[in-house]
Amino acid sequence: MLFKKMMQNTCETSKDTQNQNKFIGFARKYKLALGIVIGGLAGFLYYTFVGCTSGSCALASNPVSSTLIGSLLGVVFVKRPCSVC
């Protein structure tokens, strides 16, 4: 009885590990796309919450430019030229 419970627990943890490995594989495969989307979202949120209403700020006065700059920064962050990172 005890052995059966122990085996059941190991099977459940291996399923969790398989799900984590699937997510990591997905994130590695679509790393660039995730960087673009998350960076663009961050840029748009910056425009929404911090934005410049006078129009004198080049980055924060326009939602398109803010989103594009955020996407570019997301790509730069994802494609770092660091082999260790």
CB neighbour burial string for 18-57, b if at least 16 within 10 angstroms, e if fewer: eeeeeeeeeeeeeeeeebbebbbebbbebbeeebeeeeee
Q: What is the pTM of this model?
A: 0.63
Q: Average of pLDDT values for 81-85?
A: 59
Q: What is the pLDDT of residues 26-80, one digit of tens each?
A: 777 788 899 999 999 999 999 888 888 777 887 778 889 899 999 999 999 888 7
Q: Give dist(CA 31, CA 82) in Å, integer.
A: 15
**Which three-class secondary structure state does DSSP give residue 30?**
coil
